[in-house]
Amino acid sequence: MDYMKKTLFFINFLFVSLLLLSSCAKKEILFVPLKIEWFEYKGDLSKIDQSLVPAPVVEGFDSTENRCFIAMTKILMEDPLIQLRANQNISFDVQYYRYQYKKEVSIHFLGRLSEPEKQGTLETEPMVLPLFPKEDIGAWTARCNPKGQIKDFAFNGQKTKRQRPLKMKTSTIE
């Protein structure tokens, strides 16, 4: 009889716990199936920008690189445009490179929808991103600061605060 009471108590406890957890659960998507192929650009940084200074690799679990990869993945998974396509099994090719800015390591990311036929050159040639991709999530850029925070994440072709108006040269008439 004692065994029966314990079993009944356990079943009731489990049922009440599941009921509470399911009532508190959010109705938004918590997981987005997303495949990311990372490609470290090992080519000449001057092909991308003459002013870039290569940064050394810093190993370790808590390295800037690891923090940046985790933050970049999180940003992608939480983005509303990608969340809308959670059932489409999205796959991105992501090229990244480290550079030194004010004696600190930063990482720049370039991403596009996966193109397996073009993956062979992503370690040696700069990734070419379309300015106006066919899909709104077709191409994006971001950078990660030394603290592992993603800055300037934006899909190409969308107006964001990172796009600045061109400076107009003024001339004086004499």
pLDDT digits (tens, 9 = 90+) for 5-64: 555 544 544 544 454 445 555 455 566 788 999 999 999 998 988 888 888 777 766 678
Nearest residue to 110 via CA among 130, 71, 75, 139: 139
The answer to whether residue 135 is domain-embedded is: yes
The answer to whether residue 167 is domain-embedded is: no
pTM score above 0.85:
no
The answer to whether residue 52 is domain-embedded is: yes
Taking a C-beta distance cutoff of 8 angstroms, is the pair 34, 82 a contact?
A: yes
* pLDDT at residue 166 in the model: 36
- Rounded to a whole number, what is the distance in angstroms from the first to the last CA of the chain? 106
User: Domain range spanning residue 92?
Assistant: 34-155
Phi, psi of 67 (to 5 degrees): -60, -40
**Secondary structure tally for the chain: helices H, strands E:** 3, 6
Number of domains present in the structure of the chain: 1
